[in-house]
Structure 1
């Protein structure tokens, strides 16, 4: 994002809007860049963002948020795509169609704008608002809704709320339940069928850990007086089969085609990302790979070390640390001596991520394996400079057709290792497959046996390591910061020239 902001300075003033804390000095020290003439504005994430993100006089809007379902708030707009959200399968689309038909007949009330995606609590689920969550009422019967304060900062007492109609007339009000306890509002009626009512509360910007959303109160259930069918629907969609309710609530996924097409240009970060963007959503992306900066300094002797860098977390596009540790153990058991395997990376926030790290550490015991959780940039750069081989295993044993998101989308850690002259040995899938050419600038493997066999070839052949590492460093120079900035600037100029004469579209609701 900051590299793109640097490039866009050639077109005028640049303002970076972030949902989390933004420290210009910290960024300048980390990257060694002068960012003095770039403005930074921190605004919390909202469930229904859009024009609120714009700064007065904005001519070009660039969305660099991963998995963002924000439609373009102005005509001249670019969306950087790191990997597209998966398009719902045919069965999911059928479920959505049938569910919405059933819900329209018996649910009586539907969630509107102002609610974030569904989150689980016990056997059910809830949705958090941004302080102004809308409900569309399709019944003339009295209704009541169940609310709780689920924010990380929630205190020992509930929070004040009010329910208003489209004219701001108060329909209900009071104090909601404390965290985890959903309590009902008083019974109220909407002014008419099809009317919108709004659950309003004081919203707070997230300040704990990764939470950057503007959060109001949470909706746990809706009740329609005297409507047995609705009670059955609520029990099924929110408690017995929460996946059903969750699928219906994920309307933003079904709307992704509209979101993508609202941008003048979508720029994937790799050929792999571009392929799935086209396959799922029919969008032809303008690929711009991220900048890969060659390491500063160097010259330190490389030791008999195999390195892998990647976050320790369970699920998703897991880095498969267990597969690599198992392969190295096999090499040691077969007689490998004098070499070490080093794993470095951040640690996920969830309890299962910490359990995953602990399992990797137990698996490494008794072998020359070093694990560096939450290693900072200084440690990572030192380890990269001391290593002779780089391992990468994301995507191993995964189904590329069903779960392409579990593969590496670009592979920045692989590219950075190559920039430092470290020959990569990577799983043959995902983003790295496009730029790691077998036996030219690295090695690719498909099975754990191949990982062991190919690595032993590098271990035994210093000249092969030197040749592959030299070619790897040469090849990734095409992703220099200078070239990246030139490509971003060219795309921005093209978008501006194509869209300046067009009227600005209305901001989607």
Structure 2
């Protein structure tokens, strides 16, 4: 098959792009796969994918971006007919193409009118819809009146077992601040929580924040660094994939707080849609202490392979409990590793191939 893949956020190369590029790499083993993007950036994207995400795209080619806003709908429709199938990561939009269209959703699209004639018409030409979690599926199904499938994101573990665990609490996530200055991944909230731990008497523990930053968010990054002064808090921005996994391998506890303090009934998209970094941390033996919302509830088995917390005070209590009980920390670490196997690359590839060949 000749398969085209489109991801409108390819310039960020974060968790969502790990999903789409993993799909490209997986399918390229048996099919001819193309990514719709600027052909002139092929070398840059492939090199960055290896360095930042650890994904080899050597068997994948870039193809003229037919989904660029400057490409006419007629040209897009004609060009799409050169492919047997197209996998389209939706930002809320659904294109009209002249081939089998598989639409992937990674987050809720509450702003889209699922009852409009335009949306209903476009859905007629969609072969299948698949989501990254049941959290996303439930909201997409209600919005578009469909029965989508779930294919969990793939997690390829690169833990270095030679690296000894240290007294480190880790967080991994991109830096994203909205127009009101609210931090989507809540790194600022977690810094405050860690400082409270230290002020409460915790000694000899460090908080490491591995963070993906775009140029326009440098001011927000500097604010986080300013907040961290005087405490054992290290912020690593845009590290290599090797450095990322070194930190996963060293850390004992993993924090994730996306969705905290938000009105998730009104804005469900502000919860964590899945949480690849949580699974990566678990596979590396970190015990997750995460906010109880969104896709995190599908990953962490509360009180078994980690903790689901309902507030930052809960984070502090559960974290102190782990730090003060080495046997508990070790036992939950083993359960975390076991749980991460559910989200393997092999299972992802198998599910994706089944979707495209049914």
After TM superposition, the score normalised by the length of structure 2 is 0.83
Q: Where does residue 79 of structure 1 map in the other structure?
A: 103
Answer whether contact 2:105 2:132 (CA < 8 A) is retained: yes
Which runs of structure 2 are paired with 1:372-411 in the superposition (5 Å)?
A: 372-411=236-275
Mapped to 1, the partners of 2:90 and 2:198 lie a distance apart of 40
Quote how far apart the aligned CAs of 1:347 are.
Answer: 1.7
Q: Where does residue 300 of structure 1 map in the other structure?
A: 163
Mapped to 2, the partners of 1:301 and 1:10 lie a distance apart of 35
Q: Give a deviation string over 1:431-465, Cα, whole Å, max 9, x none.
A: 11112111111011111111110000111112212
Q: Give a deviation string over 1:254-289, Cα, whole Å, max 9, x none.
A: 944544443110110111110110122212111001
SS across alignment from 2:152: coil
Answer whether contact 2:54 2:241 (CA < 8 A) is retained: no
Q: 2:47 aligns with which of 26, 31, 41?
A: 26
1:343 aligns with 2:206: no
Aligned-CA RMSD value: 2.6
Query: How has the CA–CA distance of structure 1 residues 29 and 463 changed in structure 2, closer, same or farther, with 3 Å as cutoff?
Result: same
Q: Where does residue 61 of structure 1 map in the other structure?
A: 86
Query: How has the CA–CA distance of structure 1 residues 455 and 257 changed in structure 2, closer, same or farther, with 3 Å as cutoff?
Result: farther
1:479 aligns with 2:346: no
Quote how far apart the aligned CAs of 1:482 are.
Answer: 1.3
Mapped to 2, the partners of 1:338 and 1:254 lie a distance apart of 60
Query: How has the CA–CA distance of structure 1 residues 36 and 303 changed in structure 2, closer, same or farther, with 3 Å as cutoff?
Result: closer
In the alignment, structure 2 segments of 5+ residues that lack a partner are 1-19
Which runs of structure 2 are paired with 1:242-261 in the superposition (5 Å)?
A: 255-261=118-124
Quote how far apart the aligned CAs of 1:296 are.
Answer: 4.4
Q: Where does residue 362 of structure 1 map in the other structure?
A: 226
SS across alignment from 1:264: strand
SS across alignment from 2:258: coil
Quote how far apart the aligned CAs of 1:34 are.
Answer: 6.0
Mapped to 2, the partners of 1:37 and 1:279 lie a distance apart of 38
Q: Where does residue 128 of structure 2 map in the other structure?
A: 265
Answer whether contact 2:159 2:249 (CA < 8 A) is retained: no
Number of aligned residue pairs: 329
Quote how far apart the aligned CAs of 1:422 are.
Answer: 0.8
Quote how far apart the aligned CAs of 1:424 are.
Answer: 0.4
Answer whether contact 2:133 2:152 (CA < 8 A) is retained: yes
Query: How has the CA–CA distance of structure 1 residues 254 and 360 changed in structure 2, closer, same or farther, with 3 Å as cutoff?
Result: farther
Query: How has the CA–CA distance of structure 1 residues 365 and 70 changed in structure 2, closer, same or farther, with 3 Å as cutoff?
Result: same
Higher helix fraction (1 or 2): 2
Which runs of structure 2 are paired with 1:494-505 in the superposition (5 Å)?
A: 494=358
Which runs of structure 2 are paired with 1:222-261 in the superposition (5 Å)?
A: 255-261=118-124
Query: How has the CA–CA distance of structure 1 residues 33 and 67 changed in structure 2, closer, same or farther, with 3 Å as cutoff?
Result: closer
Structure ID, larger Rg = 1
Q: 2:149 aligns with which of 275, 283, 286?
A: 286
Mapped to 2, the partners of 1:37 and 1:436 lie a distance apart of 34
Answer whether contact 1:61 1:74 (CA < 8 A) is retained: no
SS across alignment from 1:426: strand
Query: How has the CA–CA distance of structure 1 residues 254 and 362 changed in structure 2, closer, same or farther, with 3 Å as cutoff?
Result: farther
Q: Where does residue 62 of structure 2 map in the other structure?
A: 40
1:323 aligns with 2:189: yes
SS across alignment from 1:370: strand
Q: 1:275 aligns with which of 116, 135, 138?
A: 138
Query: How has the CA–CA distance of structure 1 residues 459 and 258 changed in structure 2, closer, same or farther, with 3 Å as cutoff?
Result: farther
Q: Where does residue 489 of structure 1 map in the other structure?
A: 353
Q: Give a deviation string over 1:380-400, Cα, whole Å, max 9, x none.
A: 111111111000000001111
Quote how far apart the aligned CAs of 1:55 are.
Answer: 6.2
1:15 aligns with 2:34: yes
Query: How has the CA–CA distance of structure 1 residues 392 and 33 changed in structure 2, closer, same or farther, with 3 Å as cutoff?
Result: closer
Answer whether contact 1:309 1:344 (CA < 8 A) is retained: yes
SS across alignment from 1:267: strand
Answer whether contact 1:418 1:424 (CA < 8 A) is retained: yes
Query: How has the CA–CA distance of structure 1 residues 25 and 83 changed in structure 2, closer, same or farther, with 3 Å as cutoff?
Result: closer
Mapped to 1, the partners of 2:159 and 2:235 lie a distance apart of 24
Quote how far apart the aligned CAs of 1:89 are.
Answer: 8.0
Q: Where does residue 301 of structure 2 map in the other structure?
A: 437
Mapped to 2, the partners of 1:447 and 1:2 lie a distance apart of 34
Quote how far apart the aligned CAs of 1:313 are.
Answer: 2.3
Mapped to 1, the partners of 2:79 and 2:332 lie a distance apart of 46
Q: Where does residue 51 of structure 1 map in the other structure?
A: 77
After TM superposition, the score normalised by the length of structure 1 is 0.60
Query: How has the CA–CA distance of structure 1 residues 13 and 398 changed in structure 2, closer, same or farther, with 3 Å as cutoff?
Result: same
Answer whether contact 1:423 1:441 (CA < 8 A) is retained: yes
Mapped to 1, the partners of 2:69 and 2:113 lie a distance apart of 28
